Structure 1
Amino acid sequence: MARTRIISGLVGLVLLIGVLYMGSVVLGIVVSIIAAIGLYEFYNSISNTKGIHPIKIVGYLSIVPLFVLGLQSTGWYNIDLGIMTGISVCLIIFVSMASIVFGHKKYNIVDACATVFGIAYIPFLMSFLIMLRNMDNGNILIWLIFIGAWGTDTLAYTFGRLFGKRKIIPEISPKKTLAGALGGILGCTLLMVIYGIVVNNYFNLDITYFTLILLGLLCGVISQIGDWAASAIKRYVNVKDFGNIMPGHGGVLDRFDSILFVAPVIYYVLALFIK
């Protein structure tokens, strides 16, 4: 299992580097596909175990704005993010509520709420990957998301194995320890500072130490909350993994749970502190 996990992880890393190198259009397409798979995993999990019937067509249509964001870098059009977000939210609410009216024999308000939550949790949060890539120097800055998510996860696991004794929330995630959590936060902060020094020196960026430390602390915390939140959902629906698309890693949501939370944090901190 460990060998399968390592091989699968290396293949995924190579694909990730290729996708990010090829630009926003390819990233938009890939993120849209990943979001669709993530929605399928989420809707499938809650419908199979809790008898909830998400309005899946509404969920899958919510992925269209991701394509729009990805193609925006081509210069074919320019859409205000606020307007596009507002229109998307209104349409999602209107169509979901219309579904429980005209399809009242199949759907109810719980189904509509589950549908909208899935959209907010997966496509909406994933959209920040594309928006960050569309920023100036986005091809460099986007790596902060993966450092913040996977760096925290790796260092939390390492510190937990070496020093972990006191459990944090064993009812949700029995292997997570206080030492692991603190190690993940401190490790993430260190990785952010190191990456910032490298890109400042070699790519003429100007990310301040304050910004890097703030990113490290925030991502070190929020990344682990994202991981625990996914674990809480899996506990509720009584599944070990959301899927098995990545051998040794589970499904899309199992691998991207932290990234979903880290991406908007990185985007807004950089938008506020980098001019």
Structure 2
Amino acid sequence: MLKTRVISALVGLILLIAVLYLGSIVLGVVVSIIAAIGLYEFYNSAAKLKNIQPIKPVGYLSIIPLLLLGLEETGWYKLDLGILTGISVCVVIFLSMAFIVFGHKRYNIIDACVTAFGIAYVPFLMSFLILIRKMDFGILLIWLIFIGAWGTDTMAYTFGRLFGKRKIVPEISKNKTMAGAIGGILGCVALMFVFGLISRSFFGLELSTATLVLLGLFCGVISQIGDWSASAVKRYVNVKDYGSIMPGHGGVLDRFDSILFVAPVVYYVIVVCNI
């Protein structure tokens, strides 16, 4: 199992580097595909609960705005994020209610709520990867997401194995410890400073000390909440993994649970700090 996980992780890392360096158009297409798979996993997991039937056609239509956002760099059209978001929300509400009205024997308001939550949880949060990649220095800044998510996870695991005794959320994840959580946060701050040093020395991207501290603290906390949240949902619907698309790692949501939470945090810290 360890060998499978390592090989799968290496292949995934190579593909990730390739996608990021091929530009925002390729990233937009890939993120849209990943979001569609993630949404499929979420809806299938939710459907395991009695009397829950997500309105999948409405959910999958929510991938279209994500794709439009990614393909904007082709120059064929220009999007206004406010208008795109507003129209998307209205369409989701209108279509969900239409399914409830005309398909009332199959769907109800609970199904519409689960459908809407899936859209907010997966495609909407994933859209921030595309938004960051389209920024100035986006090819560098987008790495802050993966450092904030996977770096925190690695540091939390390391500190937890070395010093972990007191459990933090045993009902959700029995292996999570207070030492691991604190180590994840401190480790994330340290990794952000390493990134800041490299970006300034080799790429001319200046990130202030305050920005790096905020990124480290916020990402270190939110990343773990994203991980625990995914575990809480899986435990509630009684599944071990969301999927099996990544050998040894589970599904898209199993690997991207922290990414989903960290991406908007990185985006708004960057915007607020005027990087």
Give the structure-2-normalised TM-score.
Answer: 0.99
Indicate if the aligned counterparts of 1:50 and 1:237 stay in contact, CA closer than 8 A.
no
Aligned equivalent of 1:43: 43
Give the deviation of 1:48 after TM superposition: 2.4
> For residues 38-187 of structure 1, what are the structure 2 equivalents within 5 Å?
38-187=38-187
Query: What one-letter code is carried by the residue in structure 2 that aligns with 1:267?
Result: Y
Give the deviation of 1:132 after TM superposition: 0.5
Query: What one-letter code is carried by the residue in structure 2 that aligns with 1:240?
Result: K
Q: Distance in 2 between matches of 1:261 and 1:224?
A: 9
Give the deviation of 1:98 after TM superposition: 1.1
Give the deviation of 1:22 after TM superposition: 0.3
Query: What one-letter code is carried by the residue in structure 2 that aligns with 1:232?
Result: A
Give the deviation of 1:274 after TM superposition: 2.6
Instruction: Verify: 1:230 aligned to 2:265, yes or no.
Output: no
Show CA shifts across 1:144-188 (max 9, x none). 000000000011001101100000010001100000000000000
Instruction: Verify: 1:19 aligned to 2:19, yes or no.
Output: yes
Show CA shifts across 1:232-266 (max 9, x none). 00010000100111011000000000000000000
> For residues 193-212 of structure 1, what are the structure 2 equivalents within 5 Å?
193-212=193-212
Gaps of 5+ in 2: none
Give the deviation of 1:74 after TM superposition: 2.2
Q: Distance in 2 between matches of 1:258 and 1:137?
A: 23
Gaps of 5+ in 1: none
Identity %: 73
Q: Number of matched residues? A: 275
Give the structure-1-normalised TM-score.
Answer: 0.99
Query: What one-letter code is carried by the residue in structure 2 that aligns with 1:159?
Result: F
**Which SS does the other structure have where 1:48 is aligned?**
coil
Q: Distance in 1 between matches of 2:212 and 2:62?
A: 33
**Which SS does the other structure have where 1:166 is aligned?**
coil
Show CA shifts across 1:218-244 (max 9, x none). 000000000000000001000010011
**Which SS does the other structure have where 1:173 is aligned?**
coil
Which stretches of structure 1, 4 residues or more, deviate above 6 A after TM superposition?
Answer: none
